[in-house]
Amino acid sequence: MHEGRLSARQLQGWVANRLAYQRAIPRKDAAIISNCPEPEVRRAWMQRIIDHDGLQPGAGGIEMWIRLGEALGVPRREMEDERHVLPGVRLAAESYVTFCKTKPWVEAVASSLTELFAPDLMRKRIAAFPQHYPWIEAGALDYFRSRLIQAPRDSQQGLRLVQERCTTVESQRRAFDALAFKLEMLWVMIDTIHNAYAE
């Protein structure tokens, strides 16, 4: 993607499938809130749901992702009804929600620390898309731009919570295991999309 080697079809497959994950994010955040007994943490964590769902229709990160899909050539109705989402991608996204529902909230927070790597990835995409895919309008990259602000804030919040609460070897091991689960879940999604759209 960052080297300009994807076809329009491959970009469309990626954006359409990734919507299932985008829609899972506020649900996993709601699960973390529901399991957390600390009001201060719940109040701060709510911002993540607002960032993705918005405070009104037509706002938020999910809407920005749908607009990205439209700019890549996937009609809105096909983004919204998720007709292109592969079963493996859907299963992986749902496994993340289930993980955050069923694990202790601190472990679920630890699983979110993949956000530590998001800003660099977003910067690469913001630079690569105009260079290699000039047919994509600049406004379609708003999701990536929003994550340059949100991801550092979110990752620092999550990292602080994990560092403050995972103070034993066992709790630290569980935090690492949670992050490993999330990384594996993301690889399942990427591999599934790659195998379906490889040319």
Per-residue pLDDT reduced to its tens digit, 129-183: 999 999 999 999 999 999 999 999 999 999 999 999 999 999 999 999 999 999 9
Cα 45 to Cα 30, 35, 55, 76, 163, distances in angstroms: 9, 12, 15, 29, 16
Residue 7 DSSP code: -
Architecture in CATH for domain 8-197 = Up-down Bundle (1.20)
pLDDT(199) > 90: no
pLDDT at 107: 98
Q: How far apart are CA 5 and CA 53, in angstroms?
A: 32
Say if residues 54 and 122 touch (Cβ distance below 8 Å): no
Tell me the domain boundaries of the chain.
8-197
pLDDT at 44: 96
Q: What pLDDT digit, counting tens, does each position of 10-58 carry?
A: 999 999 999 999 999 999 999 999 999 999 999 999 999 999 999 999 9
Q: How many CB atoms are located within 10 Å of the residue 187 CB?
A: 11
Q: How far apart are CA 38 and CA 89, in angstroms?
A: 32
